[in-house]
Amino acid sequence: MMRATLILVLAMVASRLGGSGAGVNAAESSASGTRVTENNVRGTAKYSNDNYGVRRVQSIHKSDSPEAAAIRQELRAIEEKTQRSQTGFNVDPNHSVPYDNHPWEARRKMQEGNGAAQSQFAGTFFKPMRIRFETKSLDDMRDASNAAKIDFIKNEILPRTASFWSQALAVVPVSGPLRISTGELDNREYCGDYEFTRVPSEHISQGIEGADLVLYVSGTPSSRFCSYQTLAVAVACNFDQFDRPIAGAINVCLSTVELNADGTASPAVIQDNVDVAIHEVSHILGHSSNSYRFFRDPDTGEALTPRPFSTRQVTCVDGVSRSLILPADNTMAFVEASNGQRFASIVTPKVRAIARNQFDCQSLDGAQLENQPTGADSCTGDHWDERLYYDNALSGVISPTTNILTPMTLALFEDSGWYKANYTQARISPWGLGAGCDFATGPCIATDANGAASVPDYGRGYFCSDKAQKGCSSGHTHKMGCTINDYYHIVPRDLPDKHFQYFDGLPTLGGPRQADFCPLFGSTYEGLEAEQLDCRESTNANTYNLYSEIWGQDSRCIESTAGEGRCYRTACVQDIMALKINVRGEWLTCQYDFQELETRVGAGLLAQTITCPRLSTVCPDLFACPFNCAGRGICNYANTVNGTVRPQCECFDQKDTSPGCSDSLIPDGAYLENGNGLFNNLEENFFDPLIAVFVDHPDLWASASWAWAAGLLTVFFVLLLCICSSCLPSPKGSQKY
Ligand SMILES: [Zn+2]
């Protein structure tokens, strides 16, 4: 009996080790794991338009839903109904914002031969934008049921939003009180709309001290603006003599603000709300299809689109020809992609430079705006295109994992002429970073020799082709499943256009609509929220940690043969230009994209292969140029230092010493200069040397393994002796009766 048990145990160990030695097959593993189903693609606003349950959505993010399209249409109507929007001139020509040293005024005076202006021009400076909130309308809504929400908005969300934009953008400071012009107000009273804020009369007569921008915050539970769980809408309502927005309205839909019972919110919820507010304010600041035509040359102040405006006939992104007032070709251009899809791109200099640097594609015209129909009469979008700028805070749909305020968005504000940007407030997006022109212009899914959908090399790590696939978010912060919906079953039924069909014979399948139906890693699974799949969150640690995962601030999701992405500590190391991944205490080295590394997890019992990510996605500060060169130069991705490729900015202007293209602007250093502090601390298990006896070559055995081997051999011979002795016939004479 004892012999049988021992043999069984040894057989189990051997079979386990043998299986793991070949690596756990990903397909087998995922087949045995929990599969991603439509029901558990949830908790992510990305999919809310597909009628999955949602936790929170944003109006302008929901460009695709009928409800949100109606909201967008309302906002567009507000922007377009003013005379200014139609002509390009403020209604009240006498309304002027006081500036001491506005460079464009100084330039005009210089041109008029006013010598005194020369010294004024020299003294011109930009200062961080001062934002003031007027919250009387919001306070007027206060009752017992919403007091905590109003306090939350006022104490948590608004100050953080103002702080962000004040640090990100500088303006020529207003000198003296900022007066509001009634000519631009709705019914000469309301900022934007009668459901928002009535502007206090003293703001019109006396003005507001110490402000470059005033934001009127209301909390109207409007049926026009608060349907479909809209969190907030925002619109600009006053402008200075150079068209810079100086006032705007934000209407918060308090019913969608979710707080704990005690009125508090988790840091993640606060951040989500701040992200939304930052997004909304950016529409006020100029990231809006009705603002682009007001942009000016930053150096001269000349309007980029001539005034008065005139209409022209254009084929819009939905293929419909319309007569519209549009930005001039120096600001926005329409292009037709190889698949026949129309889109509009922002082509101003810094935006274009950054779009090119993002993808390492210097032939791009500019940065593509969203090309999905954004409402019944919309020609272009107010957002960056989802397919190309998926995790961008200013793309049309909020990402379930991360929403990055990128250098490109700040570049748009600089190209407006109204702002100077502080690029250290931005972060580079990993999405398509350095992935080449094919990523930007080619199809996201190709067809392999067998006719099956497959991800082209340039899309690897971003796109996916199998709904059962589990991988990582583009920045490798989260574990994510592959998003493929069957649009046949989604109401209202709106199937992918022919040029967005990627699965042969299955025309109704596709990824998120706004991402041109490209399947990508954007789905949660196993009923978890996105934050529960975040490798950086230490509370996500798994009790049954079979794969030796580590959750924490420096952990990232790494693709593995173990069925899904796994969380391991990582470090970007500059001197060797490599990504280090710590598995079970051992620092492995990724020297190139998608390098495969063998490792062992689960107390050393399981062998698994991990696949290095694109190095630029985890270490953008090493493998791309800082802030995409802030739009002031070309990122040379092939630049070498001591024989090692190290991307570097090459300034358009060799004499340019402004922060950005030169080395003067350094990211906050999400990398180590060298790996000196990274020590292997392999978690040696008591039985590891025993396991090594079975899986390693004897050359690699430690002395403990030799001891185990000797012990096993001894046991083996003892057993053999027992077996043999039991088979030998007993000497007859020994029997006693
Ligand atoms: Zn938006």
Whether residue 63 is predicted with pLDDT greater than 90 in this model: the reply is no
Domain CATH number, residue 202: 3.10.170.20
Q: Are residues 632 and 714 in the same domain?
A: no
| C-alpha count within 13 angstroms, C-beta hemisphere, residue 578 | 14
Number of domains within the chain? 5
Please tell me the distance between residue 646's alpha carbon and the centre of ligand 1 in angstroms. 35
Does the residue 304 lie in any domain?
no
Check the annotation: does 95 bind a ligand: no
Does the residue 102 lie in any domain?
no
Does the residue 300 lie in any domain?
no
Active site residue 280: yes
Does the residue 43 lie in any domain?
yes
pLDDT (0 to 100) of residue 230: 78
Tell me the average pLDDT of the chain. 83
Q: Which of 381, 371, 364, 367 minimizes the C-alpha distance to 415? A: 367
Provide the token pair at 283.
């529409």
The span from the CA of 578 to the CA of 557, in Å, is 17
pLDDT (0 to 100) of residue 190: 97
69: number of Cβ within 10 Å: 20
Q: Are strands 640-641 and 644-645 parallel, antiparallel or unpaired?
A: antiparallel
Query: Residue 678 corresponds to which amino acid?
Result: L
Instruction: Give the mean pLDDT of 247-272.
Output: 90
Whether residue 357 is predicted with pLDDT greater than 50 in this model: the reply is yes
Provide the token pair at 95.
């309304």
Whether residue 239 is predicted with pLDDT greater than 50 in this model: the reply is yes
Q: Are residues 610 and 699 in the same domain?
A: no
Please tell me the distance between residue 31's alpha carbon and the centre of ligand 1 in angstroms. 39
The span from the CA of 276 to the CA of 405, in Å, is 11
Please tell me the distance between residue 384's alpha carbon and the centre of ligand 1 in angstroms. 9
pLDDT (0 to 100) of residue 340: 84
Whether residue 675 is predicted with pLDDT greater than 90 in this model: the reply is no
* Strand ranges (E), 347-422: 367-368, 420-421
Query: Residue 78 corresponds to which amino acid?
Result: I
The span from the CA of 283 to the CA of 579, in Å, is 37
Instruction: Give the mean pLDDT of 236-245.
Output: 96
Q: Are residues 173 and 266 in the same domain?
A: yes
699 vs 189, higher pLDDT: 189
Domain CATH number, residue 20: 2.30.34.10
Does the residue 294 lie in any domain?
no
Instruction: Give the mean pLDDT of 126-147.
Output: 96
Q: Are residues 646 and 716 in the same domain?
A: no
Instruction: Give the mean pLDDT of 685-699.
Output: 64
Grade residue 652 by pLDDT with cuts at 50, 70 and 90: very high
Please tell me the distance between residue 279's alpha carbon and the centre of ligand 1 in angstroms. 6
pLDDT (0 to 100) of residue 55: 30
Q: Are residues 450 and 332 in the same domain?
A: no
Does the residue 735 lie in any domain?
no
The span from the CA of 177 to the CA of 99, in Å, is 10
Q: Which of 52-56, 105-109, 346-350, 586-590 has the lowest mean pLDDT?
A: 52-56
Q: Are residues 271 and 146 in the same domain?
A: yes
Whether residue 650 is predicted with pLDDT greater than 80 in this model: the reply is yes
Q: Which domain holds residue 41?
A: 33-62+443-469+481-534
**Burial class, 142, CB count within 10 angstroms (exposed 0-12 / middle 13-18 / buried 19+):** middle
Whether residue 5 is predicted with pLDDT greater than 50 in this model: the reply is no
pLDDT (0 to 100) of residue 40: 26
pLDDT (0 to 100) of residue 183: 93
Please tell me the distance between residue 289's alpha carbon and the centre of ligand 1 in angstroms. 11
Q: Are residues 456 and 487 in the same domain?
A: yes
Please tell me the distance between residue 333's alpha carbon and the centre of ligand 1 in angstroms. 20
The span from the CA of 250 to the CA of 136, in Å, is 12
Q: Which residues of 664-684 are buried (b: 16+ CB within 10 A; e: fewer)?
A: ebebeeebbeebeeeeeeeee
The span from the CA of 75 to the CA of 80, in Å, is 9
pLDDT (0 to 100) of residue 684: 62
Q: Are residues 511 and 546 in the same domain?
A: no
Percent of the chain with pLDDT over 70: 83
Percent of the chain with pLDDT over 90: 57
393: number of Cβ within 10 Å: 23
DSSP 109: H
Please tell me the distance between residue 573's alpha carbon and the centre of ligand 1 in angstroms. 37
> Under a CB-based contact definition with an 8 Å cutoff, are residues 43 and 400 in contact?
yes
546 vs 461, higher pLDDT: 461
Does the residue 305 lie in any domain?
no
Grade residue 661 by pLDDT with cuts at 50, 70 and 90: confident
Q: Are residues 589 and 618 in the same domain?
A: yes
The residue from 74, 134, 280, 549 that is catalytic is: 280
Check the annotation: does 279 bind a ligand: yes
Whether residue 72 is predicted with pLDDT greater than 60 in this model: the reply is yes
Q: Are residues 486 and 614 in the same domain?
A: no
Q: What are the tens digits of pLDDT across the range 702-715?
A: 666 777 778 788 88
Query: Residue 665 corresponds to which amino acid?
Result: L
Check the annotation: does 283 bind a ligand: yes
Query: Residue 716 corresponds to which amino acid?
Result: F
Please tell me the distance between residue 382's alpha carbon and the centre of ligand 1 in angstroms. 6
Q: Is 9 left (phi over 0), alpha (psi -120 to 50) or beta?
A: alpha
The span from the CA of 72 to the CA of 91, in Å, is 24
How many residues belong to the chain? 737
Whether residue 28 is predicted with pLDDT greater than 80 in this model: the reply is no
Q: Are residues 605 and 504 in the same domain?
A: no
Q: Are residues 413 and 465 in the same domain?
A: no
Grade residue 67 by pLDDT with cuts at 50, 70 and 90: low
pLDDT (0 to 100) of residue 66: 53
Q: What are the tens digits of pLDDT across the range 548-570?
A: 999 999 999 999 988 899 999 99
Does the residue 111 lie in any domain?
no
